[in-house]
Structure 1
Amino acid sequence: MELMDFCRYPIIQAPMAGGATTPQLVAAVSNGGGMGALAAPLLSAQALIEQVDKVRALTAKPFIVNLFVQPAPQPDPDEVDRARELLRPVWEPLGWNELPLPAKWCEDFPAQFEALLAANPAIASFTFGILTSAQVERLHQAGIYVVGTATNVAEAQAWEAVGANAVCAQGIEAGGHRGTFIGAQDDGLGTIALVPQMVDAVRIPVIAAGGIMDGRGIAAALALGAQAVQMGTAFLATDESGIHPLYKERLLEAAQAPARAATRLTRAFSGRYARGLVNRFMDAMQEVERQVPAYPVQNALTGAIRSQAAKLNETELMSLWAGQGVAMVRAMPAARLLETLVSEWRQALI
């Protein structure tokens, strides 16, 4: 099948880990003619299957399941102790005597991969790394369309070489984690520069991601040769989004005051560069963020802080992932946002 055989409109709701992509959001987008995407990197194998079942109870349309490609880390205890000390400026004000250690560093990717095969979604997408040709072939044998995330041409070519059906071109404007696995995570091209270069470099379809917030952005990306767009920040303020209510408020405040809608790449929260709204956590850790351990160790270590921040309604200690287009975010049901995007896209073509 071709990419556009799966949906009526070339609009994919980005998979956003951490609870944003609820089954209700995924289903609403797919039911509306776009392509919903379930973020499963932080789910156990069993939870992945359960979440897929919940989506299927709400839609008969195709949807995506996304995973992070990551090995299980084995950090040195001294490295962990140093990381906990670097985080002292953000956990000590919470009244803690020490930063608690997580029960595990991340989910078991091999187990997740087997669960993905068992769940058998129409499309599977991957970020943070690259699958082997054998893994891609197993997905193909199960009838699953494979999309790899790439932040540069070399990564797109690598995904094509292992047999991916399509590649998602993630510009540096994009909110959330950078999918880089070749080169520097905190460097890269913007979407407008990246997409045409990637389209020229590979034969498989390219999906444009990063900074696309309305129909004009969709039209521009397709004009550059992308076959579809992937939009994350645009869907964060929808009714079905599962993020914290005060996180949504911060996004809408950015929309009301565009001049103050600052985002920045940081590795302080997770050990991998990600773009979000600037807050006290980012500022407190800015000078030492290059010293923190790589993902997923740092991500697991900050989990308790972010969880407590949510309980305390303290957005200054949350990871408020958002792209550079955050000032254009809109609050409405996902189905209505999709209808609006399609209308704007068509108007931009006149």
Structure 2
Amino acid sequence: MFWPDTISKKLGIQYPLVQAPMFGVSTSQMTAAAANTGCLGSLALGDLSADESIKLIRQTKLLTDKPFAANIFVHQIPEITDALKDQFVKTKQFLELLAKENHIDVSLPNLENIRIKSYHEQVEAIIEEGCKILSFTFGNLDNGSIQKLKENGVVLIGTCTSLNEALTLEKSGIDIICVQGTEAGGHRGTFDPDHVLQIGGLSLLSQVYDHVNIPFIYAGGIYNAKTLKAIKDLGAKGFQVGNILLASKESSLQAFEKDRLKKVREDEIILTKSFSGRYARGVRNKYIEVVENTEYILPYPYQNKLTNALRKAAKDQQNIDFVGLWTGQSIHDYSESSTEEILRNLIQQSEEIGIK
């Protein structure tokens, strides 16, 4: 049998393939399509409110009766100090001027108008809605939330970018670990946003395999059957894919963003904090070149909230130079087929190569 069944049995799915929870790119339709293919769909809830989370959960349930994971951010919220207030004002003024110089008409929010939400209200919503799989990133759940979720039969999947993070997750009772190699697109799952760890996927995978005793999913660089088989041979029990679904029919990316992906070069894919205040891997553009390595980057999530309106306005104008276009290091053809077709092709090709 080609597919390991440890995670499949635990999650109640046919294949240990996980659709990556790409907040802002994946949709309820993508989640449901992955689930209906026999894989684990991931519903990206990010740091949405409880009401917004419930709406998306119910919307997804209308599209599939198969298991899917809710995915949330569990970051620590920085204290609002006088220094942060001053930095916010300066950053807001700088970004509004930058937008104006580039013919983007946008008004960015003031600090007092930004609502920062704790993940705890999402935990309550997830329990109330009967979700039985919860994945999370940017840190670890607190002990109280872990206990409450386990009491309600929720399987927990935490994200690590280092061996120490993996050991922390294991020690706290997390059921499955998602091992995120540096090749992965989008935001790094690193616990400490100011100390990004760039450990290559194969090295990290081997370290986790040798030192951690709970099953793990690997994320980062999987884009075809050969890369998946290589990860399987190194001991992964599950395989998370996101990059191959970026241009899919169910992706929320617009045509101009998908076109840019199809033209991307390897030297254009970089790590940046400029959009959100947390390191994320994506396509370099004018905004990144101007803002990266300046004083105009607030801690997450304040930078993310501040730039949200700018990114939205740029997207409305189809201005690729001011949107965050996240992608991993494995460049491919970025198929625009359906999520189901892309995943079924990967499954079929993986099984074929496994037989050879």
Partner residue, 2:67: 62
Given that 1:128 and 1:180 are in contact with CA atoms closer than 8 Å, whether structure 2 keeps it comes out as yes
**Offset at 1:182?**
4.7
**Offset at 1:2?**
5.0
Farther off after superposition, 120-129 or 316-325: 120-129
Q: Provide the secondary structure at the position in 1 that maps to 2:332.
A: helix
The 1:331–1:98 alpha-carbon spacing in structure 2 relative to 1, beyond 3 Å, is closer
**Offset at 1:83?**
2.1
Partner residue, 2:229: 219
Q: Which amino acid aligns with 1:66?
A: N
Partner residue, 2:275: 269
Alignment of 1:1-350 (within 5 A): 2-5=6-9, 6-18=12-24, 20-75=25-80, 76-88=84-96, 90-93=98-101, 94=103, 99-101=108-110, 103-182=113-192, 185-254=195-264, 259=265, 262-288=268-294, 292-349=297-354, 350=356
1:133-164: CA deviation from partner (whole Å, max 9, x where unpaired): 33112111111100000000000000011100
Given that 2:44 and 2:71 are in contact with CA atoms closer than 8 Å, whether structure 1 keeps it comes out as yes
Q: Which amino acid aligns with 1:310?
A: K
**Offset at 1:291?**
5.3
Given that 2:275 and 2:304 are in contact with CA atoms closer than 8 Å, whether structure 1 keeps it comes out as yes
Given that 2:90 and 2:296 are in contact with CA atoms closer than 8 Å, whether structure 1 keeps it comes out as no
CA RMSD of aligned residues (A): 2.0
1:193-231: CA deviation from partner (whole Å, max 9, x where unpaired): 111111111111111001111111111111111101111
Q: Which amino acid aligns with 1:236?
A: L
Q: Which amino acid aligns with 1:317?
A: F
Given that 2:138 and 2:190 are in contact with CA atoms closer than 8 Å, whether structure 1 keeps it comes out as yes
Q: Which amino acid aligns with 2:15?
A: Y
TM-score (normalised: structure 2): 0.91
Q: Provide the secondary structure at the position in 1 that maps to 2:72.
A: strand
Tell me the distance in 2 between the aligned counterparts of 1:311 and 1:42: 23
Given that 1:271 and 1:292 are in contact with CA atoms closer than 8 Å, whether structure 2 keeps it comes out as yes
Q: Provide the secondary structure at the position in 2 that maps to 1:327.
A: coil
Q: Provide the secondary structure at the position in 2 that maps to 1:87.
A: helix
Q: Which amino acid aligns with 1:306?
A: R
Tell me the distance in 2 between the aligned counterparts of 1:213 and 1:161: 31
Given that 1:41 and 1:66 are in contact with CA atoms closer than 8 Å, whether structure 2 keeps it comes out as yes
Tell me the distance in 2 between the aligned counterparts of 1:195 and 1:318: 32
**Offset at 1:78?**
0.7
Q: Provide the secondary structure at the position in 1 that maps to 2:62.
A: helix
1:74-126: CA deviation from partner (whole Å, max 9, x where unpaired): 43321211222443563232355964436324333221221122122221011
Tell me the distance in 1 between the aligned counterparts of 2:176 and 2:125: 22
Farther off after superposition, 190-199 or 269-278: 190-199
Farther off after superposition, 109-118 or 89-98: 89-98
Given that 2:266 and 2:329 are in contact with CA atoms closer than 8 Å, whether structure 1 keeps it comes out as no
**Offset at 1:293?**
1.5
| Residue segments in structure 1 that go unaligned for 5+ positions in a row | none
Tell me the distance in 2 between the aligned counterparts of 1:67 and 1:133: 16
Given that 1:154 and 1:182 are in contact with CA atoms closer than 8 Å, whether structure 2 keeps it comes out as no
Tell me the distance in 1 between the aligned counterparts of 2:86 and 2:76: 20
Q: Which amino acid aligns with 1:101?
A: N
Q: Provide the secondary structure at the position in 2 that maps to 1:188.
A: coil
Tell me the distance in 1 between the aligned counterparts of 2:298 and 2:192: 18
TM-score (normalised: structure 1): 0.92
Tell me the distance in 2 between the aligned counterparts of 1:335 and 1:314: 30
Tell me the distance in 2 between the aligned counterparts of 1:227 and 1:13: 15
